[in-house]
């Protein structure tokens, strides 16, 4: 997929270094948006990166050949949850915000969710992350609840999670 000089690619386990580079950049540059930390992820290497890529569908955005964003989609495995998926690890390099890269990544994940026959996709976003919440809302996600103190940044310092859902239409036959 092309978007004003940006290419999207679904990553395979062989792309583990690209995934790891993006993950670490996201955690360094947007640390309060993620449940994990840079220090927690830094020691994780090839084996864990390959496992994540094998277990979830993860797309990367490239600008000038450089990875600049990503999003992940995971389908729930249990029989009664297989109609649902979850979006996570959404990231776009701060200097490229507002260029439509986040929307393109999200739409790629949602299209894959439809192709897998998923009926709904959920995500968590830190309350107060207005840019991300606005993007998700523009893409049809709706807030269905709040998880108070869903993320802990340090002693006595918490953030709430907004819980969002998008119900998907089945693809035309």
pLDDT in tens, 149-158: 999 999 999 9
CATH top-level class for 2-122?
alpha beta
For residue range 91-109, what is the model confidence (pLDDT) as tens digits?
Answer: 999 999 999 999 999 999 9
1, HSE (Cβ side, Cα atoms, 13 Å): 17
DSSP 8-state assignment for residue 37: -
Every domain of the chain and the residues it spans: 2-122
Q: Which two tokens stand for residue 114?
A: 């439809």
pTM confidence score? 0.91
Tens of pLDDT, residue by residue over 121-169, are 999 999 999 999 999 999 999 999 999 999 999 999 999 999 999 999 7
């Amino acid at each position: 997929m092309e978007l004003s000089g940006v290419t999207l690619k679904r990553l395979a386990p062989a792309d583990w270094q690209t995934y790891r580079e993006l993950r670490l950049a996201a955690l360094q540059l947007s640390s309060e948006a993620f449940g994990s930390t840079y220090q927690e992820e830094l020691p994780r290497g090839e084996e864990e990166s390959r496992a994540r890529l094998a277990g979830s569908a993860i797309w990367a955005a490239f600008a000038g050949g450089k990875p600049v964003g990503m999003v992940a989609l995971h389908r729930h495995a249990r029989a009664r949850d297989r109609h649902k998926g979850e979006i996570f690890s959404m990231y776009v390099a701060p200097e490229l915000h507002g260029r439509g890269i986040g929307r393109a990544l999200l739409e790629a994940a949602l299209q894959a969710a439809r192709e897998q026959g998923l009926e709904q996709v959920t995500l968590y976003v830190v309350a107060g992350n207005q840019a991300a919440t606005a993007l998700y809302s523009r893409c049809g996600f709706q807030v269905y609840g709040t998880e108070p103190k869903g993320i802990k940044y340090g002693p006595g310092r918490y953030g709430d999670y907004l819980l969002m859902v998008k119900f998907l239409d089945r693809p035309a036959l």
